[in-house]
Amino acid sequence: MKTERLDLRLMDNMELMREFPDKHFDLAIVDPPYGIGVAKNGTVGSQPKPGHKRNGVGAPCKKFKPVKWDREIPQDFYFDELFRVSKNQVIWGGNYFNLPPTQGIVIWDKVNDGTDFADCELGWTSFDRAARIFRFRWNGMLQGDMANKEDRIHPTQKPVALYRWIFANYAKPGMRVLDTHLGSGSIAIAAHYAGVHLTACEIDPDYFAAACERIRRETMQEDMFQPPPPTLREVELPLDPSRL
């Protein structure tokens, strides 16, 4: 899937990164496997521990296609290549990986206290800034923005609102951004609204197809209200040939 600002590919992330020169991307925002076996049997969620609430306040566990990719974390050569092609990085699950110390941690508070799931996720960043917290509920049927509730299509899906917050605080319009694990496509929807140029890949064909369909659906409404690009005849050409 390719648009003016989105270049989304079904391919291996190492092959994708090899295409680009050093520091080609202004920013990489990635969500690699944490190695914790999410949805290994096609189910995200479990029976609650004693005294805890079930995920989604009584909602049944969400079922997805069984996956194998979340059993091991990426090897060092992945991070070496990631740092080669990008100037700055935001790496979700940074507490699971062998990364250098940083003070610029970002914390996604899921506002799901009392369940048998983690209260938050940590993102390692290359930015020399104070640690920041983004609070957005992500607990089964309950989400931080129920008026614009997202359809969960991926076992490790993150909300669009989280990526919009990252773009607002760590990027600028026109920047070149890399994502090596497209997943549900949330980052692409946020990138569309933030005005950045996103290059991303996904290795699973089923999830890639589902993400592309979701991205088309979620960005179509805004595009309907934008004027169409000018045709060649509508473009005012300069009279001075030297300006061509």
CATH classification at residue 69: 3.40.50.150
pLDDT in tens, 201-232: 999 999 999 999 999 999 986 544 444 433 33
Domain count, the chain: 1
- In Å, how far are 43, 82, 138, 149 from 91, measured between CA atoms? 25, 10, 19, 25
In a domain, 236, yes or no: no
Where residue 24 falls among pLDDT bands split at 50, 70, 90? Answer: very high
Residue type, 27: L
* Parallel/antiparallel/unpaired status of strands 6-10 and 132-135: unpaired
The pLDDT of residue 236 is above 60: no
In a domain, 235, yes or no: no
Lowest mean pLDDT among 73-87, 184-198, 205-219, 230-244: 230-244
Q: Which two structure tokens, joined as six digits, stand for 132?
A: 């920041």
Average pLDDT (71-90) is 94
The mean pLDDT of the chain is: 83
Q: Which domain holds residue 163?
A: 6-225
Average pLDDT (52-72) is 58
Determine the pLDDT at residue 141.
86
In a domain, 187, yes or no: yes
In a domain, 127, yes or no: yes
Determine the pLDDT at residue 112.
86
**Alpha-carbon gap, residue 163 to 200, rounded angstroms:** 14
Q: What is the pTM of this model?
A: 0.81
**Alpha-carbon gap, residue 176 to 21, rounded angstroms:** 13
In a domain, 238, yes or no: no
Cβ contacts of residue 1 below 8 Å, gap of 6+? 8, 212, 215, 216
In a domain, 237, yes or no: no
Q: What single-letter DSSP state applies at residue 57? A: S
The pLDDT of residue 41 is above 60: no
Alpha helices in the chain (DSSP H): 13-18, 76-85, 160-170, 186-194, 205-224
Q: Which two structure tokens, joined as six digits, stand for 74?
A: 């990426």
